[in-house]
Amino acid sequence: MAIVVGTDFSDHAREAVRVAAAIAARTGTPLELVHTAEPGMLRRDWPAERGSAITELEQRLAAEAEGLRHEGLTVEPRVLLGMPDEALVEHAARIQARMLITAALGWRSEKRWRLGGVPARIAQQSRVPFLMIRLSGPFLEWCQARRPLRVTVGDDFSHSAEVALRWLPELRRVGPVELTVAHVYNPATEYGRLGLSYASQGPEGVEAILERELRERLSRVGEPLAEVRTTPSYGSVVEPLTTLTEAARADLLLLGSHQRRGLRRVRHGSVSLSALPLAPVAAVACVPVAVQREAEAPVRIPSIRRVLVSTDFSPLANLAIPHALSLLPPGGELILVHVMESPIPVVYADFWPAMALGTDDDEAELRRQLGALVPRDVAGRGITVRMELLSGVHAAQTLCQAAERYGADIFCMGSHGRTGVSRAVLGSVAQEVVAHSRRPVLVVKHSALP
């Protein structure tokens, strides 16, 4: 697979060509030097076949390619007809390019009435990783093994962000990378997801939990040594993300791209497209989700190290505890929880922090009852047991929040198996948890139930 670099012979384009040539030389990859000519920009009398204007462009491109060949590169010059963004994207996809590189500046001739420049349009359409270059200096030093490339990846726990993280080995083929992962979160959303109050800080606070979740995710994708930075934002993600990128002194901002279009783009927006002109870095890279679809990562068998199990002290709920323990290997952790009813009105249940209920004696008695449910041979299995008392109006919501807060790999609970009128009147906590939990749920039924 070749590296495709676009040029319009400008000083900005030469910066991109230098970077592309350095990467190609470092990795032993062929380089395609491409210039796209819009028909409207050529002379009106150019012939239907290859006219003099095209020949002049080919000669100029061939001279630039010859200069690169003197550096030991395999270079193929190519003049394409069409709009720059469309022709480059189509050509890179046709030859299955390793990456597509352009400068940060570039416009179609109709820039006054078309939205966005060439880089933005390429990022929106490209089916191969796209690298937009502003400054070549940091990349040339990296390719010459003079220093690592400082890369910041924007991670929002989405599939597209994971695709970008899994593309990092492609950069390491060139040289070492210092990785920072930046995450921008909405405090209201996270407090609701985790069931925390605005006063929650320290090891149980929102940012500590987010950092733990990010590190677990990074370990799964093979990047456990990355630095993690988080920051809150109630509005746009782009400006806080660029601030984190600047604080990390990054050379490259790496983003995954959903490449949404039409109404979906209006509704959800596009962080990658908005970051292209704003990020204070030497380059921005956008990796489309199509890269992952074309070369799927191997399926990973998940490991279960932390199980959350709930009980209301009923015999059926207690049955879930030994099943939860059976899932854990030595060194695993069982989180045994009980939900206490909260007096807060239902209307405030989604916003009010959890409250401690009852006296210290009441809580001590409940913890004693929880401890009595733990089988005696747990210590011999090397399993740690943690007991927590939760409060909330909606038991299912409280349990789902606890599973997120404690980072449970799987949720285990018993089901009363109600049907018909009794289910409509009394409800089913298990059913609600299954419907709303972001974590896998194991529901344990009594052997007599259907």
Check if the beta carbon of residue 444 is closer than 8 Å to that of residue 319. Answer: yes
Q: Tokens in use for 356?
A: 């401690």
Locate the DSSP E strands across 82-173.
99-103, 130-133, 149-154
Question: Cβ of 236: how many Cβ atoms within 10 Å?
Answer: 12
- The four Cα atoms 356, 384, 409, 203 give a dihedral, to 10 degrees, of 50
**Domains delineated in the chain:** 3-294 (3.40.50.12370), 306-444 (3.40.50.620)
Specify which residues 308 forms β-bridges with. Answer: 335, 411
Locate the DSSP E strands across 51-127.
75-81, 99-103
C-alpha span between 129 and 122 (Å, rounded): 10
Please, what is the angle between helix 271-278 and helix 238-247, to 10°? 50
Question: Cβ of 237: how many Cβ atoms within 10 Å?
Answer: 20
Residuewise pLDDT in 10s, the chain (450 residues): 899 999 988 888 999 999 999 999 999 999 999 998 876 654 444 455 544 556 778 888 999 999 998 888 999 999 888 888 899 999 999 999 999 999 987 544 444 333 347 888 898 889 999 999 999 999 999 999 999 999 999 999 999 999 999 999 999 999 999 999 999 999 999 998 998 876 666 667 899 999 999 999 999 999 999 999 999 999 889 999 999 999 999 999 999 987 655 444 434 456 777 888 888 899 999 999 877 654 455 677 888 999 999 999 988 889 999 999 999 999 999 999 999 876 654 444 444 444 445 566 788 999 999 999 999 889 889 999 999 999 888 889 999 999 999 999 999 998 865 544 344 333 478 889 999 999 999 999 876 554
Side chain identity at 58, as an amino acid letter? E
Check if the beta carbon of residue 182 is closer than 8 Å to that of residue 227. Answer: no
What Cα–Cα distance (Å) separates residue 371 from each residue in 154, 321, 336, 340? 43, 11, 9, 16
Side chain identity at 323, as an amino acid letter? H
